[in-house]
Structure 1
Amino acid sequence: MTINTTHNCTEPQSNWIFVGVYSMVFMVGLILNLTALVVFFCYTKLWSHTTVYMINLAIADLLLVLTLPLRIYYHLGMHGLSQVLCEGVGLVLLVNMYGSIFLLTCMCFDRCVAVCFPMSCRVREGRKKAPLVCLGVWGLTIGASLPIYISKRSKASKEIQVDRCFGSFPVYATQTTAVASTLTVGFGIPLVVMLVCSWALIHAITRSAVAQTDLINSGKIQRMIATSLVIFLACFLPYHGTLALLYVHREAVPCSLLSVYHYSLMVACLNAILDPLAYYFTTETFRRKVDMDAMTRMFPLNSQNSEGNNSRAPVNT
């Protein structure tokens, strides 16, 4: 089945797969990312460069999961949501998704140069600019998305449309400018950077003299790097691959391809709960702070055991 316009595909609004997955991502992502932010802000006195990226990543993931209740409401079969509201929430989701992609890339690059060039003064000075880099990421994601949305929204308001909220064709995401920038700057370049940096990290670790001793577990570090890369690919490759196919077939889009697009977007949202597991909770200091501080404050009966352990240390990379 194909369509000649962007609104002729009809599919059931109620979908319990979307309801279940989005509900799980919302609840788990909310808990994990709020926990990360509480630990970073309340139990960490000194922030490392990676911690700055982690905080911004947690904020981006948190903002993403906060858009999901409206999607859950829609897929429960509820009506009354305006198309403008749906498009606005969808825009917020995409902005924060690409914010996460760029921040993950920055974290990977930061760790790579820190390991590969530990004695370089230029690298040390460059790493201190992490707050400015994060500010640039937010400016890039918001600044690149809003103009396309506003211009196309203004044009669409003059045309007769059928409002289908989150079940509609991704008009803004499939514009030529948007697709070109998304597939190159938004995904292609970050993917290449992460692949190169991951290879360089593994290469540096395996060739390190320290790795030949028992001081570090190089195998564990390699598994962590590989896991982070697999999560990145599993979450974002299906979405961007489907987006490219939608653009190629934009004149006559198969309804099945449109359904695949919505499922791939759902898979991309899983990144909001995988990021904390892969980054925040894999740092030893973070786990120690959660175990010894946050948990004892949640359960006051054990507070006597933690009175002597009130030192605050930066979250290590």
Structure 2
Amino acid sequence: MTVTPDYDEATYGDYPDDGTLCNFDPNPAEVLTQTYIHSVICAFGLIGNALVVVTYIFYKRTKTMTDVYLFNVAVADLLFVVALPFIIYNEQHSWLMGQVACKLLRSAYSINLYSGMLLLACISGDRYIAIVKARRSFGSRSRCLIYCRLICLAVWVFAVALTLPTLIYTALFKDLDLGDETAEMVCELSFNKYETAKLMKVLVPSLQMGIGFLLPLSVMVFCYSSIMCTLMRAQSSQRHKAIRVVIAVVIVFIVCHLPYNVALLSHTVSLFKERSCEAERIKLKVLAISKSVAYLHCCLNPILYAFIGVKFRSHFKKIMSDLWCFSKKYIYSARLSPGTSDACTSGFKSSEGSNHLSSFSA
């Protein structure tokens, strides 16, 4: 059996030569496994990125440009991991939340991809200026932070703009693979015209691969190659420590997203060509697996901060200490002695007073 070129997502791969329909629905075991994996990603991503945001807001008075960028990366990851449980629920319950939720939730990953990867490119540019161009003066710290925040705002606006095709053309429609009686509502790209389908089904994945992956990757390779050359000449272990978390974050992001982009490229090349149902099933399964791997980056970044960033570990310990003190103070206050309560209060003040630490990544 072969699948004809697909012009509309609703008729995607529905017309084999023998007149029967191709069923691309995953089996229940795959759905259950994917649900567990996404749940783990959501839980760890939510906890880890929330700790990064809390550290930035409450435990760091002195902030660097890298801190601002990493904070925005954490916010982007938080937005996605918050949306992920709703995506899982709606996919398993025929999108009960309706058309608006369909559009917004399907756009969440796209915004996270563009903003997160472009912000990582900004971090590499910031480290390049700080290390390779260290002798040049770029103005006061406060002015640099203003420029940094403007850059972050521009990245968010650009990410939303690149997501508009997904937002506009994603729609709810009945999946007719199982017939009219058992048809369920699905949330996918849908087009009424062949010309629009042909353009968007090439444009959307091309933007993801080009602007969301290859362009930032090129910037990172250039910046970090220059940084490595400078550090090798400088023989400075301290500078190595200052950028190692950023390099690790970029490497992890590449490892997570490269398989999905390769699978997406293969899938895009085969669009509008006849292909067998079995080959299409394999491609869709590979896409689903690699996309789950891509989701992993949302919870891996905070782990990198905790295990590599010495100063972030220090802030993390202070957060845990303060939470322990508050829990004892407000939950078990009847059992606490005055001396214990004072110690807890002092510990929180110590956290506030340690905000001179300059970076997550050192």
TM-score, normalised by the number of residues in structure 2: 0.74
**2:132 maps to what in 1?**
116
Q: Secondary structure at the match of 2:271?
A: coil
Q: Which has the higher contact order (CA 8 A, sep 6+)?
A: 1
Shift of 1:98: 1.7
Shift of 1:270: 0.4
**1:294 maps to what in 2?**
319
Q: Secondary structure at the match of 2:108?
A: helix
Q: Secondary structure at the match of 2:118?
A: helix
Counterparts of 2:190 and 2:345, CA distance in 1: 55
Greater Rg over alpha carbons, structure: 2
**2:106 maps to what in 1?**
90
Shift of 1:69: 0.6
The answer as to whether partners of 1:195 and 1:229 remain within 8 angstroms in 2 is no
**1:227 maps to what in 2?**
248
Counterparts of 2:98 and 2:345, CA distance in 1: 54
Shift of 1:22: 0.4
Offset from partner CA, 1:254-292 (integer Å, 9 cap, x none): 12111211222111110101111234663322221221x
Aligned length: 305
Deviates more, 1:16-25 or 1:198-207: 198-207
What amino acid is the match of 1:17?
Answer: T
Output aligned runs, 1:261-272, within 5 Å. Answer: 261-272=287-298
**1:81 maps to what in 2?**
96
2:60 paired with 1:44: yes
Counterparts of 1:283 and 1:50, CA distance in 2: 13
2:282 paired with 1:256: yes
What amino acid is the match of 2:131?
Answer: V
Q: Secondary structure at the match of 2:257?
A: helix
Shift of 1:304: 6.2
Deviates more, 1:100-109 or 1:57-66: 100-109
2:155 paired with 1:141: no
2:32 to 8, 16, 28: 16
**1:313 maps to what in 2?**
356
What amino acid is the match of 1:313?
Answer: H
Offset from partner CA, 1:12-36 (integer Å, 9 cap, x none): 3641221111000111110011111
Shift of 1:45: 1.2
1:247 to 268, 278, 283: 268
Shift of 1:315: 4.0
Counterparts of 2:319 and 2:27, CA distance in 1: 41
Offset from partner CA, 1:20-61 (integer Å, 9 cap, x none): 110001111100111111111111112211111111111100
Q: Which runs of 5+ in 1 are unaligned?
A: none
Counterparts of 1:81 and 1:210, CA distance in 2: 57
Q: Secondary structure at the match of 1:165?
A: strand
What amino acid is the match of 1:246?
Answer: H
CA gap of 1:225–1:147, structure 2 versus 1, over 3 A, is: closer
What do you get for the CA RMSD once the two structures are aligned? Answer: 3.1
| Percent of matched pairs sharing the same residue | 24
